[in-house]
Structure 1
Amino acid sequence: MDTFRIAVMIGSLRQDSLNRKLALALAGMAPPEFKFHHCRIDDLPPYNQDDDGRPPEPVRRLKTEIADAQGVLFVTPEYNRSIPGVLKNAIDHASRPYGQSAWAGKPAGVIGVSVGSIGTAMAQQHLRNILAYLDMPTLGQPEAFIANREGLFDDKGHVGLDDSRRFLQTWMDRYTAWVRDHAKM
């Protein structure tokens, strides 16, 4: 495969989101054959099973973006010790109707940044439980619970701290290898 398309699911809608910054910084650390597409989730209606037979256009678009990807990168904050509702809504939409999930078999990476000292540990654990049910092979190690601190992102959006940059580069190297390995299957 010459190009690997990665669907990026950012769990925050905030314009100045730390997780959006992290997703952009990570994309800059990937090999050139990896192309990252940020999936739009802010226009999805609340999931309603009554709509499974006639999903609205934003849902069809999301499912197509995921289906066209060779991997999925989840970059999420932690809200009340779990994932944000907007991310769960997107996951539910793309997994339905039952038996027609766009997620099945897509290799996933889970990461996030938060102002809290434990980063996004609880949100990531909840997300991993969901992804296991959706049959998404998910990178297990290294885990990455990033706590935001002064200088994490520089004014150009790059990771500004050397130790953080090295760690995130190791994470990205493992994630891209994970996607490559699953593409061979």
Structure 2
Amino acid sequence: MSETRILTLVGSLRAGSINRQLAEAAVQTAPEGVDISIYEGLAEIPFYNEDLDVPGSVPAQVEALRTAVDGVDAVLLLTPEYNGTLPAVLKNAIDWASRPYGAGAIKGKPVAVVSASISPNAAAWAHGDTVKAVGVAGGVVVESATAQFATIGERFGQTHPSQDAEALTQLGAVVHQLVTAATAQVNA
């Protein structure tokens, strides 16, 4: 059996982001035969603009993102909640990965969404908006591959999520479900 490759996109650019830490913890839950990588460079990708999205004009940062998404079996998105929705950087990555329309790198790709917020609602609005954006973009949202973390400032303020057994269990379940979906798609 070949290795299952998962690309993780983190919707927070902050150096000390707990969403980033959750992504790092998810990497640790990868079983043998599963490679999870965290994409670097979302901050350098320009906002989606059809004037830039033409052959010969697509920015190199966008080509790199599209190549990365195209080259994996599944995508794991981690989103905080900014003003009641997903952050622009994550939405922008989804937009670029969805193009060209009907044939974008994310089309048909299994996608899991994990959300985390300092609020008690666990970024539920951002989670829902991310699921919606991915579905419209052509990704296949794996509904069973989901986790939502609330009050993360208190929960992970002094401890990295990789040291939280419950968080690792939840993230491990997300990874397992995403791998199952990716494997089923490859074997279909």
Fold conserved (TM > 0.5)?
yes
Give the aligned partner of residue 23 of structure 1: 23
| Partner Cα distance (1:117, 1:51) in 2 | 40
| Matched residue type, 2:34 | F
Q: Deviations over 1:105-157 (max 9, x none)?
A: 110000021111011211111111111112221111264210115454775x4
- Runs of 4 or more, structure 1, over 6 Å off, are none
Alignment of 1:65-84 (within 5 A): 65-84=68-87
Any idea what the Cα deviations from partners look like across 1:35-77, whole Å, max 9, x if unmatched? 1222221101121111111201001111000110100000110
2: CA distance, partners of 1:162 / 1:96: 38
CA contact (8 A) 1:47 1:93 kept: yes
CA contact (8 A) 1:73 1:110 kept: yes
Amino acid at match of 2:132: N
> 1 or 2, which has the higher strand percentage?
2
Matched, 1:171 2:174: yes
Matching residue of 1:51? 52
Compared with structure 1, are the counterparts of its residues 8 and 167 closer, same or farther at alpha carbon in structure 2 (3 Å cutoff)?
closer
Structure 1 residues 132-141 or 101-110, which shifts more?
132-141
Distance 1:48 1:127 in 2: 20
Give ranges in structure 1 of 5+ residues lacking alignment. Answer: none
The offset of 1:78, in angstroms, is: 0.7
Q: 2 CA distance for matches of 1:37 and 1:160?
A: 20
- Work out the CA distance in 1 between the residues paired with 2:42 and 2:147: 23
Paired residue secondary structure (1:14): coil
Q: Structure 1-normalised TM-score? A: 0.90
Q: Structure 1 residues 33 and 48 mapped into 2: Cα distance closer, same or farther (>3 Å)?
A: same
* TM-score computed with the length of structure 2 as normaliser: 0.88
Q: Hey, what's the Cα distance between the residues in 1 that align with 2:21 and 2:116?
A: 9
Q: How well do the aligned residues superpose, as a CA RMSD in angstroms?
A: 1.9
SS in 1 for 2:109: coil
Q: Quote the Cα distance in structure 1 between the aligned partners of 2:49 and 2:11.
A: 20
**Which stretch has the larger CA shift, 96-105 or 112-121?**
96-105
Q: Identify the residue that residue 104 of structure 1 maps to in structure 2.
A: 107
The C-alpha deviation readout for 1:8-38, integer Å capped at 9, x for no partner, is 1110100011110000101111212111222
Q: Please give the residue correspondences for 1:2-21 in structure 2 after superposition, counting only pairs within 5 Å.
A: 2-21=2-21
Picking from 92, 95, 100, the partner of 1:92 is 95
